[in-house]
Structure 1
Amino acid sequence: MLIDIIAGARPNFMKIAPIIRAIEEENKKETNINFRLIHTGQHFDKNMSGDFFDQLGIPEPHINLESGGGSQAEQTANIMVRFEKDLIEHPADLVLVVGDVTSTMACTIVAKKLNTKVAHVEAGIRSGDMTMPEEINRIVTDSITDYFFTTSDVAGNNLIKNGVEEERIFFVGNTMIDTLLKCQGSFKQPAIWDLLALQKGKYLMMTLHRPANVDSEENLRSLLEEIVENSHGYPLIFPVHPRTAKKLSSLGLKFENVHYVDPLGYLEFNYLVKHCLAVITDSGGITEETTVLGIPCMTLRDSTERPETCTIGSNELLGTNPKALAPAMQRLFNGQWKKSGIPPLWDGRAAERIIKEICTLYKV
């Protein structure tokens, strides 16, 4: 069989890397699974060089649709036009999409209109926040997908509530965690470690990029001031998302202990996460990684599509009111952060389970 594996943004590659490895392992048993890795080009990331693919253990994409740039509508249209042409020229038995980026939704629509089956990895997660483009992408994708691979029971229940038959839902775990566990022994100390004389457990990590936090200069200023005020003078390492960088440059905000740095590579970023005291973020994926690494995490959002990181893991949902930070930071520095665990099946074998189910479905 032939599987088209779709990736459009950097987090997608962390999710598909273990799936490719699982296919390669399955083929050692004389199973005949062919795949094409299709990069839609949704995001251009300067860190996605040959080294990036080598670090994750995946081949260079077979094709890059080069569909980046423009508004969300323009980007969606570009991906759909270019993927449709490619899928007509190279028919696949299954299109496998991951996550919730524009590429996920766009390629799902194209595949279904060409009567090609679709499997969605990380299906069923919901934040309930329709102001997030990702939430719309999830809902549209899951409304027409054929096979659903989920990271939690909560995600599976969301799908069942929407009328998806249980026999099409497969609880397999989290492929992002497959990559984290595989790469953990290879995390790389970045240059800023020595440059800033960082020490394990003596600094904080921070990422911000959600519109609710960074689009308003007043909100961004208030958040940063509150974080700094409650940081006990610890260094704050802030890899700056391009969206946030524009606002910071116009604000001219400078704090003695806040260190703005360019986006880091996967191995370098997670080295810093693994050794920090805590992470302050509005990202979803980082809350999964901190949960497995056992690092306290404060999420500056009003909802999360990954509730298991809060109910089981090390994450706490603080909301977008800056005043919620002070009591949380106080508990952190007092050593009173909650005890956490790791969600079921987040054990590094999710991709193996996915390929096993696909082999069963397609009798290969």
Structure 2
Amino acid sequence: MQIQLNKLSEKPLSPEVGLVVGTRPSIVMFAPLIHKMRERKIPHFVIHTGQHFSPSMDSAFFQDLELPQPDYKLEGVSENKTHGSQTAAMLQGVEKILLQRLPCFFLVGGDANTNLAAALAARKLHINIGHIEAGERSFDKRMPEEHNRIMIDHISDFLFATNENSIKNLKNEGLTSHVFLTGNPIVDATLRHYELTKKNAEILRELNLEPNRYLLLTTHREENVDTVANLRGSLQGVQDFAAQKSLPVIFPAHPRTLKRIDEFGLNDWLKDLDHIKVIEPQGYLNFLELLASAKLVFTDSGGVQQEAAIHKVPAVTLRDNTEWIETLDLGANQLAGCNPERILASGNEMISKERNWPTPFGDGSTSDQIADIANEVIGHYSAS
């Protein structure tokens, strides 16, 4: 493999890899890559920005995924309530660490504010950036995640694309250099961790659930839960479908969603939705067991759409668009927005789907491929 590095600074960069996480989906995505770095003894360190941080949830995720605690953890980031203040706090915190370490390669993954802040910090220090999930587009400029992923792609040096559609999107924006078709580490992650659920996850027994006899619901996106009409519409649509099918809905409620339910005065209304059972957010292995054993999942999460497709669980997405267009093309997913009638119709169509679609995100070798490229970058700096 021939790579060309842009050495724009006289500062000596260290032959090591930095990785940044900050949300629970990013911890899941990077887990197999961190394991691969450790197995292959590739020098690396991990920064946790604290974008989504709670001591119990984060420690549970790292424990569930058999990961060491991150080398660095920013404090107080989650207390910032606006995109600007949060991104600024993470930019400042990551920059301080990068100034100490100056890795020759820095990996960010996905579209959260964490990744934009970290990529900006690395760019200003002339550190080579690799973006995992490059080229994903929902084409909805109302979404902050869409802005983030576009900006990250355009300031990154290495673009790790999930599939040919991602590469096409990058090409349409003039990005053709150092683009690699690697697949997505979410495949590596969910397949590896699903084996762990068999010995560690107990949520079905605790909730007295039978596989394929319940529905799963997640909703947390700003455009859904920060608007009362969208939040009510989503929950009502799922309730109507569950009542029609006489199935319970398990709803691990995101703290953001619960906060909005309370602010909108919907607590009593939600209690009357008798098919929806609200539970605490779960550790990753419990959630993966809930997802893989569900009859149908309703979600606005990109990561849940991916994992549902991998585990052959039909999905109804509570959005009008998705960055994971391949799940629609394969018939594994359908868009329903937040309209109760559309949700009911989509649920009825998806619940009868044959679960025979192929996995659209790679073959589980993504972490090895990215580790190979990281090793080559390190080699350039070890020799210089």
Specify if TM > 0.5: yes
User: Which one of 302, 309, 314 corresponds to residue 320 of structure 2?
Assistant: 302
Aligned mates of 2:373, 2:71 — CA distance in 1: 24
Question: Does the 8 A contact of 2:105 with 2:378 survive in 1?
Answer: no
Question: Does the 8 A contact of 1:291 with 1:313 survive in 2?
Answer: no
CA RMSD across the alignment: 1.9
Q: What amino acid does structure 1 have at the position aligned with 2:68?
A: P
Using the TM superposition, give the Cα deviation of residue 148 of structure 1 relative to its aligned residue in structure 2, in angstroms: 0.5
1:302-349 alpha-carbon deviations (Å, 9 max, x no partner): 11111112213611122333211222222345x34574221152x221
Question: Does the 8 A contact of 2:24 with 2:58 survive in 1?
Answer: no
Q: Does 1:121 align with 2:132?
A: yes
What corresponds to 1:357 in structure 2? 373
What corresponds to 2:45 in structure 1? 36
> Structure 2 length as normaliser, TM-score?
0.87
User: What is the DSSP-based 3-state SS (H/G/I as helix, E as strand, rest coil) of the residue aligned with 1:122?
Assistant: strand
What corresponds to 1:246 in structure 2? 259
What corresponds to 2:149 in structure 1? 138
1:97-122 alpha-carbon deviations (Å, 9 max, x no partner): 11111111111111111111111111
Task: Please give the residue correspondences for 1:1-364 in structure 2 after superposition, counting only pairs within 5 Å.
Answer: 1-27=15-41, 33-66=42-75, 67-70=77-80, 71-165=82-176, 167-187=177-197, 188-191=200-203, 193-231=204-242, 232-249=245-262, 250-251=265-266, 252=268, 253-254=270-271, 255-312=273-330, 314-333=332-351, 335-336=352-353, 339-343=356-360, 345=362, 347-363=363-379
Aligned mates of 2:94, 2:350 — CA distance in 1: 47
Q: What amino acid does structure 2 have at the position aligned with 1:65?
A: L
1:180-212 alpha-carbon deviations (Å, 9 max, x no partner): 000111114444x34543111111000112233
Q: What amino acid does structure 2 have at the position aligned with 1:315?
A: N
Q: Does the C-alpha gap of structure 1 residues 136 and 291 become closer, same or farther in structure 2, counting only changes over 3 Å? A: same
User: What is the DSSP-based 3-state SS (H/G/I as helix, E as strand, rest coil) of the residue aligned with 1:256?
Assistant: coil
What corresponds to 1:30 in structure 2? none
Q: What amino acid does structure 2 have at the position aligned with 1:63?
A: Y
Using the TM superposition, give the Cα deviation of residue 74 of structure 1 relative to its aligned residue in structure 2, in angstroms: 1.0
Aligned mates of 2:63, 2:227 — CA distance in 1: 38
Q: Does the C-alpha gap of structure 1 residues 163 and 49 become closer, same or farther in structure 2, counting only changes over 3 Å? A: closer
User: What is the DSSP-based 3-state SS (H/G/I as helix, E as strand, rest coil) of the residue aligned with 1:118?
Assistant: strand
Question: Does the 8 A contact of 1:10 with 1:45 survive in 2?
Answer: no
Aligned mates of 2:331, 2:195 — CA distance in 1: 22
Question: Does the 8 A contact of 1:3 with 1:94 survive in 2?
Answer: yes
Q: Does the C-alpha gap of structure 1 residues 148 and 300 become closer, same or farther in structure 2, counting only changes over 3 Å? A: same
What corresponds to 2:8 in structure 1? none
Structure 1: 5+ residue stretches without partners: 28-32
Aligned mates of 2:153, 2:350 — CA distance in 1: 38
Percent pairwise identity? 34
Q: Does the C-alpha gap of structure 1 residues 351 and 260 become closer, same or farther in structure 2, counting only changes over 3 Å? A: same
Question: Does the 8 A contact of 1:56 with 1:179 survive in 2?
Answer: no
User: What is the DSSP-based 3-state SS (H/G/I as helix, E as strand, rest coil) of the residue aligned with 2:212?
Assistant: coil
Q: Does the C-alpha gap of structure 1 residues 349 and 233 become closer, same or farther in structure 2, counting only changes over 3 Å? A: same
> Structure 1 length as normaliser, TM-score?
0.92
Aligned mates of 1:330, 1:164 — CA distance in 2: 40
User: What is the DSSP-based 3-state SS (H/G/I as helix, E as strand, rest coil) of the residue aligned with 1:348?
Assistant: coil
Q: What amino acid does structure 2 have at the position aligned with 1:81?
A: Q
Using the TM superposition, give the Cα deviation of residue 246 of structure 1 relative to its aligned residue in structure 2, in angstroms: 2.1
Question: Does the 8 A contact of 1:287 with 1:315 survive in 2?
Answer: yes
Equivalent residue pairs, number = 355
User: What is the DSSP-based 3-state SS (H/G/I as helix, E as strand, rest coil) of the residue aligned with 1:223?
Assistant: helix
Structure 2: 5+ residue stretches without partners: 1-14
Aligned mates of 1:199, 1:170 — CA distance in 2: 41
